[in-house]
Structure 1
Amino acid sequence: MADILLREEDLKFASTMVQNLNSILLTSSELFQLRSQLKDLQTAESCDLFCCLYRSWCHSPVATVSLCFLTQNYRHAYHLIQKFGDLEVTVDFLTEVDKLVQLIECPIFTYLRLQLLDVENHPYLIRALYGLLMLLPQSSAFQLLSHRLQCVPNPQLMRSGHAEPALLSSPKSDSERIDYTELLRHFEKVQNKHLEVRHQRAGDIVERRLGP
């Protein structure tokens, strides 16, 4: 379905489909194995799957970030959120951010919340969450995420007396095969198309209202 959506010319439909598919991916119990496959990106197959989904998920910026959270691509998620400042922030967009914040509090992202304890090894996760916080207006979702981030411990308190070599020298994984710069360019390209279509649609509506 992700491959098919890449060829979809109706961008509004593609965006709606991606949002629905993303919700199913993150919440359906039947897709537990698929989520597990994507979570660590330890195999070439899982990396290819991530890239396939990513290219279609770009039709929905917030869904793309949630896919990065699912796959623990926190640095890339942070870079994506920085791009949000160049996008057209609509009510629908903020609603999607609100939904993502609610999902972060669900069981599916338990591992993500626990990683907030490891401040030094997950700085981009914390930056990405603060980025989402800055996007939100003063709302219940803002308060929810703000309270969660207030629970992030002081890194000085979490620092142990001696380093653990086994953790510091982790082996290279297949995820290093992924060209994140190219994926970021693809995200910008897809979102520019969405912006053009929205402006064209708005222009058509104005023309119809004004008449010949």
Structure 2
Amino acid sequence: MADILLREEDLKFASTMVHTLNTILLTSSELFQLRNQLKELKTPESCNLFCCLYRSWCHNPVTTVSLCFLTQNYKHAYDLIQKFGDLDVTVDFLTEVDKLVQLIECPIFTYLRLQMLDVKKNPYLIKALYGLLMLLPQSSAFQLLSHRLQCVPNPELLQMDSTKATTGLRGTSVSNINYTELLQHFEKVQNKHLEARHQRAGQAEQLDRRVVL
């Protein structure tokens, strides 16, 4: 499905499908083994699977971040969230961020919440979560994530040299994944979505004018 969606020309449909597939990936009990395979990224096969999913998941920025959370790619998740300031942030976009925050509280992300206890080893996880917090308006999801982050021990440890920080991948070797190239792919796909939204908005405006005339 991910391979097929890479060739999909209807970008809005692709984004909706990616969101649906991501929900299935994260919540279906039948995909427990697949989630474990992605969570560790210890084999070339799992790394290839991650890259394959990532390229399609780029149709939806928030699902891309959730995939990075699932695979413990916290540094890359933080880099992606930094790019969100350049995107077209809509109500639907913020709604998806809200849903991601709710998902972080679910059993599937228990390991992620436990990793928040070790700030030294997972600084980018904390930074990524704070990034999501800054994106959210003052809402119930904002309060939920804010309260969770208040539980992080020793907040002064966040003020550390980022060059000495780890990415949060414990005992794994994923050196064959080119994260710079993946980030460039994310930007390219999102630029296409922005152009498509502007086109749809222009077409809708033209249609409204015709109706008025």
- TM-score by shorter chain over 0.5: yes
Q: Which amino acid aligns with 2:112?
A: L
Q: How does 1:57-72 map to 2 (within 5 A)?
A: 57-72=57-72
For the residues of structure 1 that align with 2:178 and 2:130, how far apart are their CA atoms?
A: 25
SS of 2:31's partner is helix
Shift of 1:204: 0.3
User: Identity of counterpart residues, as a percentage?
Assistant: 81
Look up the match of 1:208. 207
CA contact (8 A) 2:41 2:172 kept: no
Shift of 1:176: 1.0
Q: Which amino acid aligns with 1:201?
A: R
SS of 1:126's partner is helix
CA contact (8 A) 2:54 2:67 kept: yes
For the residues of structure 1 that align with 2:56 and 2:172, how far apart are their CA atoms?
A: 27
TM-score, structure 1 as length reference: 0.92
Q: How does 1:160-175 map to 2 (within 5 A)?
A: 173=173, 175=174
For the residues of structure 2 that align with 1:116 and 1:78, how far apart are their CA atoms?
A: 15
Look up the match of 2:160. none
Look up the match of 1:102. 102
CA contact (8 A) 2:133 2:146 kept: yes
Q: Which amino acid aligns with 1:147?
A: H
Structure 1's consecutive aligned runs of 4 or more residues displaced over 6 angstroms after TM superposition are: none
TM-score, structure 2 as length reference: 0.91
List alignment gaps of at least 5 residues for structure 1: 158-169
* Aligned residue pairs, count: 199
For the residues of structure 1 that align with 2:171 and 2:99, how far apart are their CA atoms?
A: 35
For the residues of structure 2 that align with 1:139 and 1:92, how far apart are their CA atoms?
A: 15
Please tell me the root mean square deviation across aligned C-alpha atoms, in Å. 1.3
Shift of 1:172: 6.0
Look up the match of 2:166. none
Look up the match of 2:196. 197
Look up the match of 1:15. 15
For the residues of structure 1 that align with 2:94 and 2:133, how far apart are their CA atoms?
A: 11
Look up the match of 2:85. 85
Q: For each residue in 1:92-151, what CA deviation from the matched residue of structure 2 results, as whole angstroms up to 9, or x when unmatched?
A: 100100000000000000000000000000000000000000000000000000000000
CA contact (8 A) 1:101 1:145 kept: yes
